[in-house]
Structure formats: structure tokens, C-alpha cells
Structure 1
Amino acid sequence: MISSILFAVQSTVPNTYTSWGLSEFLYITGACLLCLLIIPRVVWYPHVGPKMPLPFPSVFNNPSVATFLAAMAAGHILGVGAVLGLTNLGIL
């Protein structure tokens, strides 16, 4: 049996989901590119293993596949955090 208090609480909780569109895509893409520019320069061994065939190897520090995957993972974490934070603030 559901208490009526739960219905009162549920109606006061704001709707925090977002509909993913072009602006959210751009925020996550920008975060991924930023991480791809920074992370290969701060990883201890960015060139160990097979190289990632990127279009501008000197700009991205010619990272290995593992470094590229780490940069993309960090970029998605930062991008999704930024999108959710900006959505909660009402900016997006």
C-alpha cells in the first residue's frame, strides 16, 4: 500500500531529465576534444602500444589506442557531468 505522503513528495521533486539534442552533443564533443588535447600530454606512457590513426598526430601528441580510449572516457564523464549540471541550473 502506498502512503499519501509519497504522492506529496513526488509532486514537489523537479523534473531533472534532459532531452538529448544538438547542444548536449556539442558539450560532450567539446569535452572529449579538450580531454584528447590534454590527457596524452599528462599520461606517463602515452606512446606504448599501437598508435591511434588521428588526422593531426602532432596536435594530439600521437597517442596510443589505450591513451585515446582513456581520453574519450574522461571526456564523456566530464561532458555528461557538465550537461547534467547545466540542466539542473536551468541553462540548458
Structure 2
Amino acid sequence: MPITPIWSLKIGIVMIACNLVAILLGRYSIQKSGLGPHFPLELPAELDGFGIPELLATTSLGHILGVGTILGLSALGVFNLPS
């Protein structure tokens, strides 16, 4: 069983950064966006046509990237591992 790091603010920041990268990638790579339900609140102009399906897809990818990044960084000794 792999040893996983204890949650900390550094891990949270890495996960948020990975999700933001995935959202930015998805914003410019999803070809047919805006076909599903939209947000009930106003979004910035940069996210025009970015609905709930796009958000779910990109944050799913962001979590996959985040888990890989966190496990990789913990294997390199960046994060504190439990004793």
C-alpha cells in the first residue's frame, strides 16, 4: 500500500493549481461547449459558453492531474509523510 502524505495547505494549493490548469486547457480545447445546462450565476466573459458539463469534465481531469502531482512530489520528499 503506498504511503500518502497528510493533507496540508501546500497539498491544497497544488490541487487548486492543477484544477485551474485543467479548466484553462478545457476552455480552449473543448470544441462544442455550452450545449448543456449553464450556471445560474453570471460568469466572467472569458468563460462564456462554459457550462456545468465542461466544469465537471475539466475538474475531473484536474483532480487526476492533482493526485498524480501530489503523489509524485511526495515520492520526491516535498511533502511530509506520516511516520
What TM-score comes out, normalization by structure 1 length? Answer: 0.73
The residue identity in structure 2 corresponding to 1:66 is P
Identify unmatched segments of 5+ residues in structure 1.
Answer: 1-14
RMSD: 1.7
Q: Deviation at 1:85?
A: 0.4
- Secondary structure in structure 1 of the residue aligned to 2:47: coil
1:67 aligned onto 2:58: no
Query: Using a 3 Å threshold, how does the CA distance of structure 1 residues 79 and 87 change in structure 2: closer, same or farther?
Result: same
Larger radius of gyration: 1
Runs of 4+ in 1 over 3 A off after TM superposition: none
Tell me which residue corresponds to 1:12: none
Tell me which residue corresponds to 2:14: 27
What TM-score comes out, normalization by structure 2 length? Answer: 0.80
Identify unmatched segments of 5+ residues in structure 2.
Answer: none
Tell me which residue corresponds to 2:27: 40
